[in-house]
Amino acid sequence: MPSMYEQIMGFPLFKGISKDHVSMILAKANITFNNYKTGEIVANCGSECDHIGFIARGSLRCAYSSPKGDVKITYTLSTGDMIGADALFGIDRTFPIDIKALATTSILTFAKDEYMNLLREDEIFLMNYLNHISLRSQCGRIAVGNYEAHGVAGLIARWLLTMTGQRCKDINFEIAPSLMEILPPAYTDSSSGDLQFLAEKGVIAVYGDRIEVPDRREYLDFVDTAE
């Protein structure tokens, strides 16, 4: 099992940090390990995001629901993933999703002030965070530019890019029939055939109103290269 130092050095926002530097951070910073039992709530949608967390052990199930409830997206985060990075700054500093523990989970947590100190004091932390924010900000442009003309397949791809991260697993979409009824003909006229085709190719599975995407990267690559 990796040591605590090895785990921390493997977190995306700690990339490039030496073991000695991690040791110094642990000695200096006021960080905590928050532990959650299976099913316990980690954060509610709309609650203030005043910290950033890194999953040291276990897994989390995240759930997003559109304002009208006609689109629901769920996915799993696991060891090495983080929560709160996208909502720590900006106009809306609240969690956009509900998060609960999928298993016994331990999360290494930095309060916002502590994390801001790291960003001020170390260029590596700052660059890692800026790279993360830049990647997330570019997802909307990539989603529209690459997948605009792919019908329902492109719609799912845009949701994947804008609403889930690269490491998300067990991604599920639930689309209300009422939403499908008001979509433009480009989406609805061939939606059943498109979904069947994607299912036959193994990049999705369809269970009534629920669409499961087993592998995010595989799906995006498939749609990106499909004619």
Q: What is the DSSP letter of 103?
A: S
Q: List pLDDT tens digits, range 71-87.
A: 899 999 999 899 999 99
The answer on pLDDT for 20 being more than 60 is yes
Nearest-angstrom CA–CA distance, 60 and 165: 14
The answer on pLDDT for 186 being more than 50 is no
Task: Report the pLDDT value the prediction gives residue 81, as an integer from 0 to 100.
Answer: 92
Nearest-angstrom CA–CA distance, 170 and 190: 26
Q: Assign 217 a pLDDT band (cuts: 50, 70, 90).
A: very high
DSSP helix/strand/coil, 7: helix
Nearest-angstrom CA–CA distance, 86 and 177: 31
CA dihedral 141, 142, 147, 149 (to 10 degrees): 40
Domains, in order of start, for the chain: 4-134 (2.60.120.10), 146-225 (1.10.10.10)
Q: Assign 149 a pLDDT band (cuts: 50, 70, 90).
A: low
Beta strands in the chain (DSSP E): 31-36, 41-43, 51-57, 59-65, 71-78, 82-83, 98-101, 105-111, 169-175, 205-207, 210-213
Q: Assign 188 a pLDDT band (cuts: 50, 70, 90).
A: very low
User: Is the separation of the CB atoms in 183 and 124 below 8 Å?
Assistant: no
The answer on pLDDT for 227 being more than 70 is no
Task: Report the pLDDT value the prediction gives residue 194, as an integer from 0 to 100.
Answer: 78
DSSP helix/strand/coil, 124: helix
Nearest-angstrom CA–CA distance, 74 and 100: 11
pLDDT, greater one: 49 or 69? 49
* Cα torsion 134, 144, 205, 38: sign: positive
Q: Please, which residues have CB within 8 angstroms of residue 86's CB and are 6 or more apart in sequence?
A: 133, 136
The mean pLDDT value for 37-55 works out to 95
Token pair listed for 10: 């493997």
Name the β-bridge partners of 110. 31, 52
The residue whose two tokens read 């390990």 is 33
Nearest-angstrom CA–CA distance, 7 and 16: 13
Q: Quick count: other Cβ atoms within 10 Å of Cβ 179?
A: 15
